[in-house]
Structure 1
Amino acid sequence: MIDKLIDWFDRHRELPTLRRVVVAVSGGVDSMVAMDLIGQLSGALGFSVVVCHVDHRMRPESEDEQRFVEAEAVRRGLTFHGVAVDVPGRIRETGESPQAAARALRYEALTQCARAAGAEAVVLAHHQDDQAETVLLRLLRGASPTGLGGMNEVRRSGDLWWLRPFLKVTKAELVAYAADHGIPYREDPSNWSTKYLRNKIRLQLIPLLETDYQPRVKDHLARLAQMIQEDEAVLTSMALEARDRCVRVGSGNYRIDIPRFSDLPAALQRRVLTLILDYPSERLPGWGAIQVEALRNLALHGRSGSELRLSGGWRARRVYDELVFDRFGEEGRPIGVGPLGASPIPLSVPGRTSCPILGVTIDATVVSRQEWELRARAEAANDPGVGPSTPAVADFDWERMEGRPLFIRSRLPGDRFAPFGLAGTKKIKDVWIDDKVPRELRDRWPLLAAGREILWIIGWRRSAHWPVTKDTQRILHVEATWTNEEIREWVHRRTRKN
């Protein structure tokens, strides 16, 4: 067993230099053997060991089990750290199953323990039988091929590594090692309760498969998981490249470019969606293959405005040629997005006016006809093009509008807009719908207005009010520079398409 463990660390050269590791020890045979073996090898492998026991407070004997683990750790000269978590409290708060709540709190506690100890890695005692159970469990729950890869031997989360060096070791081997070396352990009686699906798989389904169908079913399932993981490593690399081509990360949202997404093979489409759902810093809980297929259908066949509610307060929406993932509050609006109710900001003429809440700065100058024409010719000759760093520009007949106070504001109920070159006015809402402006940008889009008259949907459309004519001699020249990255990027992309 020791030789297997040495070989495992030898093979995983991707690991950083380990100076301290946390070993998760429940007191069961698997983790007690792991603690014994890792403790023996720590000197040879060059790291110190911290034993972490998590008390879930779900059974009366849990405090006794913590004392037992502590005594065994101290007997081996290992540092011990005990953590108590409130599983019943989390269940009341989240509605999760006992096993899901315990697992979530256990991993949080292990992470905190590793951070406090300055450890680079956490060692978990999952073995081959656990892997076989996991594959069957996920298959029954409708997992994707990725999910059928089971647990990884090595997984990195931020700067913390999670290690499972016993995934190729059977439960029988661990029990035999404990017996041969006199390692004590405790049995968790809940492991024998068939009210939990994982326990039913271990206690009923796998024995049936071994007896009536295939004696080596656990070996075959573990080998299948290994092959899937190897295939997934290649496909994930391709999916990451595809994600970079068709996904943008915004302020609290993710946006998929549907035309680019549609060009991907179905296998990569699913993996791109999985990468978003499993994004390290914003992991959406409770999703599986069924949800991934529903999202594919929404992206490929949904109408603009249709949506799919996800767990964790997130949803996915079809917004014209994008699939948008964002988090929503109780009223169904994106968090941090909505009618801003900001007071109109007077425009300084001449001068610079900043409007941080709407994400724009306006430079306003009044120029002569001659100066304006010289500038226009110079810009035409230079042809700088349109890009995110190019300020948006609009010009107005200053002589006809002089004396009218101008303001930067967001839209108001009942706002109407007179598009340049067209007769009459339209509701500004209809202008945005026609131009396929995403709904969540409309309330935050800055407008240049004189009272209720909208002169300019800044950076996008100017109105028919006070245009520069052949008789105009003094011109109001306004340039907008964006600090709102989402609007700036949307304008840039739409301008390139047009």
Structure 2
Amino acid sequence: MMKPCWRTTDHIVIAVSTGIDSMVLLHQLLTQYADTYDQLTCLHVHHGLREASDNEAQFLQTYCQERNIPLHIHHLDLTSIAEAGRSIQNEARRLRYTWFDKMMYNLQADCLLTAHHQGDQLETIFYRIFTGRVDRGPLGIQTCESRGLYRLIRPLLTTTKEQIRTYQQQHTVPYFEDESNTSNAYVRNDIRNRLLPDIEQNPQLQGQQLLKLMDVHAEALTLFKQRAQQFIEQEVRQKHGNQWYIPRKPFNQLSPHVKMKVLDIMLAHFESVVTVSERTYQDWFVKICSDVAQSTLMHTNKWHVDIVYDKLVIAPAMKETIPTQQVVTMAGIYRFGAYRIEIAEHVFRSHEMLHIRTRQTGDRIMLANGQHKKVTRLMIDHKVPQGERLHMPIISTANGDILAVGTCYHHMTYEQYIHIQYLGDDINEK
């Protein structure tokens, strides 16, 4: 076991399966490390998938009672998951940690200890490499990590399986052997039971080299993050509240790993866990590098990511509310969605009323040379994002003549008398 990384005043909780690893860890806590904590509690999950599960739970109950250790047992029903053909291992792990989180809160405990050892570390590195899970996170398991109100600690992570077996034999630690661990039907079992042993049997190969690779990979991730943060500081601009603009050209010059880290950091402004897959990011990169002028990359209920001409725009999700048309008959200041509109008295000397509305099919403006241009074309020329085109105010007369189009156009006769200001999307949240 490593040097304890908990305090002598801590209430520590150990997850015990009754296998050799967790029973050895529990024995160590009760003997040589008994004075390193204030209180000890055991948690056991009864998966109900094997006939031996009842015997294991009963054994642990007796073991803890004899040593005055509080024990809590949780029964899982995985029948429906197995019948549906879903991964029992993944689902069982999720349910276990959901219960662990709940119990740690109820117990007001400080640290949860699990018996993951060096073999589990090598297995995890191997699994993540050959399943392509190498770009966004660490290759290995962390020795200590925060899970909100408590710390998850793996004290045996640098201990080999051979050392655990030696300790068990020296101290005659009782344990149960899980027969399902010998089945190679599960990917991780296949790695543990077949692939890694085959590697170790080859004198020219060393599974331990995976640990060095893990350290190199961790350092590379740190460098990617530093480069991403540097890019964000130099190139990314925040506008209109929590809306971010990323220039496409310099973004395209980054390596794919740094691009993913940039997007992970930016999307973390809107959600605690970024769930966009590496494959999705790769699809985004192809579009961002293309000649497409505007495109929706992804919209969720928390954020939107869009290509808008020479920028990548990341913004909070907004309700798509189109402002209602207004009819005005006097000078004043008017609000139209995220726009502030000021109309002077001079305009009403020529027009009894004005309409403040959004664009309509066939809308045209008159240019200084007497020619006409479609409002749609005007907005494209001014690189107005597609989403904003639906909300941009158009001021027209009762006859349909357009005097102003948002911040893009003012009829030369009324340029001094109509002022339109964009206040930002964050106004709509208030």
TM-score (norm 1): 0.67
The counterpart of 1:218, out of the listed 191, 207, 213, is: 207
Which amino acid is the alignment partner of residue 140 of structure 1? F
Instruction: Kindly indicate whether residue 350 of structure 2 is the aligned counterpart of residue 400 of structure 1.
Output: yes
CA distance in 2, matches of 1:180, 1:311: 57
The Cα of 1:132 is off from its aligned counterpart by 0.9
- Comparing 271-280 and 119-128, the one that deviates more: 271-280
Structure 2: stretches of 5+ with no match in the other structure: none
* CA–CA separation in structure 2 for the residues paired with 1:227 and 1:299: 30
Structure 2 CA distance, aligned partners of 1:89 and 1:465?
71
- 1:229 equivalent to 2:218? Answer yes
* 2:118 paired with 1:128: yes
CA distance, structure 2, for counterparts of residue 405 and residue 62 of structure 1:
79
What is the aligned partner in structure 1 of residue 409 from structure 2? 462
Q: What SS does structure 1 have at the residue aligned with 2:207?
A: helix
SS in 1 for 2:44: strand
Structure 1 CA distance for aligned equivalents of residues 157 and 26 of structure 2 = 15
Residue number in structure 2 paired with 1:485: 426
Answer with 443-452 or 232-241: which moved more: 443-452
Distance of aligned partners of 1:213 and 1:205 in 2 relative to their CA distance in 1, 3 Å threshold: farther
Q: How many residues matched?
A: 427
Distance 2:277 2:132 in 1: 10
**Is residue 346–residue 406 contact of structure 1 (8 Å, CA) maintained in 2?**
yes
Change (3 A) 1:468 1:102: same
Which of 219, 228, 246 does residue 239 from structure 1 map onto? 228
Write 1 or 2 for the structure with the bigger share of helix: 1
Change (3 A) 1:153 1:439: farther
Amino acid at match of 1:400: S
Q: Is the 8 A contact 1:363 1:478 kept in 2?
A: yes
Q: 2-side partners of 1:85 and 1:447: how far apart?
A: 61
Give the direction of change, closer, same or farther, for the CA distance of 1:419–1:134 in structure 2 (3 Å limit). farther
**Kept after mapping to 2: 8 A contact 1:128/1:166:** yes
Contact 1:363–1:479 (8 Å) recurs in 2: yes
| CA distance in structure 2 between the aligned counterparts of 1:49 and 1:450, rounded to whole angstroms | 79
Does the C-alpha gap of structure 1 residues 211 and 70 become closer, same or farther in structure 2, counting only changes over 3 Å?
Answer: same
Q: 1:277 to 1:55 in 2, by over 3 A?
A: farther
Q: Which one of the candidate residues 424, 430, 436 is aligned to 2:383?
A: 436
Whether contact under 8 Å (1:417, 1:426) holds in the other structure is yes
Alignment RMSD, CA only? 4.6
Which stretch shifts more, 271-280 or 71-80?
A: 271-280
Does 1:116 find its partner at 2:63?
A: no
1: CA distance between counterparts of 2:300 and 2:199? 35
The answer to whether the 8 Å contact 1:257/1:323 transfers is yes
Distance 1:38 1:92 in 2: 39
Going from structure 1 to structure 2, the CA distance change for 1:262 and 1:218 (only over 3 Å counts) comes to same
**Partner deviation per Cα, 1:10-39 (whole Å, 9 max, x = no partner):** 8xxxxx997444433333332333344446
* In the alignment, structure 1 residue 258 sits paired with structure 2 residue 248: yes
Helix, strand or coil at the partner of 1:271: helix
TM-aligned CA distance change 1:191 to 1:259, over 3 Å: same
Do the aligned partners of 1:128 and 1:218 also contact (CA within 8 Å) in 2? no
Contact 1:24 1:31 in 2 (8 A): yes
TM-score (norm 2): 0.76
Measure, in 2, the Cα distance between the counterparts of 1:284 and 1:92: 31
The match for 1:374 is none
Share of identical aligned residues, percent?
A: 23
| SS across alignment from 2:3 | helix
Q: Which moves more between the two structures, 204-213 or 40-49?
A: 40-49
| Structure 1 letter corresponding to 2:425 | N
